Amino acid sequence: MDLAGPAVLWGRWGVLGATLAALGHDDVWWIDADGAHHDDHGGNWGRLVLVADDRAVLFGYDHEYSDTVDASPPIDLLAGAPAWLPWAELVRHADDDQLGYVYWHEHGDWRRVRYPDRVADGLPQTVGAVLDADRARRELAEVVFEWAGHDVDGEAERADVATHADRLLAAAAGHAVDAAALTGLLGRVRSVPVDLDAALASAARAGLTAGTVVPVVPANAEVPHRRVRKLSETQHERLVWAAMGEADELPRPEPAGTGALAALVDWARVRAPGADGRSAVVVEALDGAMRQLPGECCPVDRPGDGFRDLFTLVGELRAAEADARHGRWIFLRVTTTSDGFSVERRYDSWPDWMGPRDSGPWLSHLRTEMRSRAAEFRPPWTALLDPDVAYLPTPPHPPHPGR
């Protein structure tokens, strides 16, 4: 991999952590006994861990750019990875579908598993600030001008900041960060308090000041048993949706008429796209998520008609028709005319009138619905909702010695 060595990345990481700590931001870039951390507090993060015997691992996740997480077919980022990695932490993130990349370094080279071209892993979006010298310099300038709000700006000031950023980075590379190096960059700031003691303490924890030691974690002993995906989340969803399309409705009594149904019918009829009262409401509804399908008879907004939100009405109807044993419907079609209406409900199957199965209910929402029903009113495809369906069987643990 075309990455700088771990020591170089570590020095840049530590400098960013130290300068931000001086401004009171010690939870964005920082280093402790467990390694280097970055957290943008928006769901994106990166880690660099130095491991005994001159080894290292760089891993992280970006919720927008880590396409590796939901690639189809799945990508096992830990396939063939060495035993010395911090497996407990890596497996925890992988199990949460929040591991976008893993790069490990030994024998002077970075390695990772192969994945298809044009599949982004989120590395530059999460830790790009430490990946090259120019980006690190620009990031330190942002500490001064953006984080600290330094208001003396101009070409000369920018050049001076760049010079002192380079000096600070060089000091980090030589494990010689001191008050003078930090003051050269941050001493100009007057807009916010600057705590050089906090910066020096941060640099010392990283092993970047004279007489301190870089924290290195011991190597892991063995590769643990772990879950490995055989289906991506998308593939798992489509498997369930296809089974719903083949399912039959289980027999259950028709819900009694309610005021909630009358309110929805009136709402749809008033908003019929033509003057004949003909409309069609087609919705998918589960706790926490609803969607409406468009169509030529889809109701339209009529300003001044005492507008009520469609999904509020659908939610009220679904609650009114709920049954502790039978459950609640998932799909609903209500059609109206000027003087009548019809209602179609689907509790267990995906009807043709819901359109193609390229978008549908989340598996987590379907699990909630199925758990709320009596067992005899759970269709056969409920078994496919088990998260383990998406994973290869976990090998059994070897017998304990002496057993």
**Amino acid 400: pLDDT:** 40
pLDDT surpasses 60 at 401: no
- In this prediction, residue 301 has a pLDDT band, given cuts at 50, 70 and 90, of confident
If 0-12 CB within 10 Å is exposed, 13-18 middle and 19+ buried, where does residue 210 land?
exposed
Average pLDDT, the chain: 94
Quick one: what percent of the chain has pLDDT higher than 90? 90
* Nearest alpha carbon to residue 268 among 277, 258, 259: 277
**Amino acid 397: pLDDT:** 56
Calculate mean pLDDT across residues 376-392.
97
How confident is the model over 132-156, as pLDDT tens digits?
999 999 999 999 999 999 999 899 9
User: Are 17 and 26 a contacting pair, CB within 8 Å?
Assistant: yes
Calculate mean pLDDT across residues 212-232.
95
* Nearest alpha carbon to residue 65 among 44, 38, 41: 44
Percent helix / strand / coil, the chain, rounded to 5: 35, 15, 50
